[in-house]
Amino acid sequence: MAASKIDIKLYKTQEWVDWCPGCGNFGILNAEQMALAELGLDPKRTVIVSGIGCSGKIAHFINVNGVHTLHGRAVAFATGIKLANPELEVIVNAGDGDQLGIGVGHFVSVGRRNVDITVIVHDNGVYGLTKGQAAPTLPRGVKTKALPEPNINDAINPLLLALASGYTFVARTYAYDVKHAKETIKAAITHKGLALVDVLQPCPTYNNINTKEWYDKRIYKLENWDPVVKSESEIEDKITKAYLKAREWGDKIPIGIFYQNEAVPTYEDRVEERVSTYLKNPPAKQEIDKNGRFVTSIENIVKNKRVV
């Protein structure tokens, strides 16, 4: 569906963007709009499915289909949308609390299916919209502004969880490196299969620890790093290296594509294997009636149930 580059203005809605000044979400929004424009995606056939949080509002700011769903459930909605109409380009934008807290079950389970969608996690370490409680990516012992005591829970590493769950594209980027974020999102969208883009996203209002300054000092881009699995024999080596690299955190924080493997059949391929007309004539496109008269025959099914 990729066409030639389209003017970025076309991807902006009239809605006022109501994030706090300096919020990392602005970087993600710009990067995502630029990625869509550069890929020339048709707004009618592109869908942003978001969860609940500051991050979830993004669906209203991009002028493609926007489905602002429930806290944690964006991936479930997105799966239904994509499987009913695999021709659509489906992108999930979720908060870290959204996707790795309340929605972590869906985050893991969609990995088993390798549905061809992109999951972008707005990783700010806090529950922004509920005023700064600890999110699942906040390390233990860290006391961000709104916490009465240092965080008592250990952090989830979204990349490791994605690798363990079966994501076939695993990347991390940084909200204030819009160019890197844009390129990473483009690669994720173009990837055939399930992609995670974990975006380190400063929240100047509630996360006074992982600030822009904090990240700017630590972040470096993966170089001399080939994440792409080219044959089955490479899987073990590349996934192990990706795993070790993704654990790096502290003084140095790598960003980039850690792992990519397009050889795993997508869920859509798996359905097509059972239903040979699925991709050509998916559920959303089928006529179920002709002038009101139903077309689906149950004649054989009824015959099978016949006793006399």
Partner 1 sequence: MVKITWMIGGPQGSGVDTSATVFGNALARAGYYIYGNREYHSNIEGRHSYFNLTISDKPMHSISDDINILVTFEAETIFQHFREVHDYLFYNKALESTKLSTINSIERETAEEIEAFLESVNVPPTVEGVLGYLRGRGVKLIPVEYDKILMAVAEEMKLSVATISRSRNIIAAAVSLRLLGLDKKYLAEAIRGLFKNDLFVKANLLAADKAYGLAEPAYGLKEIPVSGHRVQLDGNTAVAMGKIAGGVRFQSYYPITPASDESVFIEANQVVDAVDPDTKESRKVGIVVLQTEDELAAINASIGAALTGARASTSTSGPGFSLMVEGLGWAGMNEVPVVVTYYMRGAPSTGLPTRSGQADLLFSMHAGHGEFPKIVIASGDHVEAFKDAIWAFNLAERYQTPVIHLVDKSLANAYSIIDESELDYSSMRADRGKIVIPDGSYKRFQFTDDYISPRAFIGNAVMHYTGDEHNEEGHISENSANRIKMYEKRMKKLELADKEIPEESRLNVFGEGDVAVITWGSPKGAVMDAMEELKQDGISMQLIQLRMFNPFPRNLVTKLLKGKSKIIDVENNYTAQAASLVASSTGIQPTNYILKWNGRPITRTEIRNAVKTIMEKDEKRVILSGGQ
Ligand X SMILES: Cc1ncc(C[n+]2csc(CCOP(=O)(O)OP(=O)(O)O)c2C)c(N)n1
* Footprint of ligand X (CB under 6 A): 52-55, 71, 95-98, 122, 124, 126-130, 135
- Closer Cβ to ligand X, 118 or 201, answer by number: 201
The values of phi and psi at residue 159, to 5°, are: -70, -45
Q: What part of residues 228-247 is at the interface with partner 1 (CB under 8 A)?
A: none
Q: Which does 283 bind (CB under 5 to 8 A by kind): ligand X, ligand SF4, partner 1, none?
A: partner 1
- Closer Cβ to ligand SF4, 103 or 125, answer by number: 125
Cα separation, 111 vs 266, in Å, equals 10
Task: List the one residue out of 118, 62, 113 whose CA is nearest residue 94.
Answer: 118
CB of 104 to ligand X, least distance (A): 11
CB of 236 to Mg ion, least distance (A): 34
Q: Which does 284 bind (CB under 5 to 8 A by kind): ligand X, partner 1, ligand SF4, none?
A: partner 1
- Eight-class DSSP state of 11: G
Residue type, 277: T
13 touches partner 1 (CB under 8 A): yes
12 touches partner 1 (CB under 8 A): no
Q: Which of 79, 124, 157, 165 binds ligand SF4 (CB under 6 A)?
A: 124
Cα separation, 260 vs 251, in Å, equals 26
Radius of gyration of the chain (CA): 21
**Are the C-beta atoms of residues 224 and 71 closer than 8 Å to each other?**
no
List beta partners, residue 257.
171
Q: Binding marks (x or -) toward ligand SF4, 13..52, rule CB under 6 A?
A: ------xx--x-x---------------------------
Cα separation, 20 vs 15, in Å, equals 15
Q: Binding marks (x or -) toward Mg ion, 227..266, rule CB under 5 A?
A: ----------------------------------------
List beta partners, residue 178.
none
> Token digits for 40?
């020339």
Measure CA of the first residue to CA of the last residue in the chain; give whole Å.
52
CB of 37 to ligand SF4, least distance (A): 23
User: Hey, how many other C-beta atoms are within 10 angstroms of the C-beta on 236?
Assistant: 10
127 touches ligand SF4 (CB under 6 A): no
- Closer Cβ to partner 1, 231 or 300, answer by number: 300
Q: What part of residues 64-123 is at the interface with partner 1 (CB under 8 A)?
A: 64-70, 72-73, 75-85, 87-88, 105-106, 108-109
Q: Which of 223, 232, 251, 290 binds partner 1 (CB under 8 A)?
A: 290
Distances (CA, A) of 276 to 5, 86, 281, 289: 33, 14, 9, 21
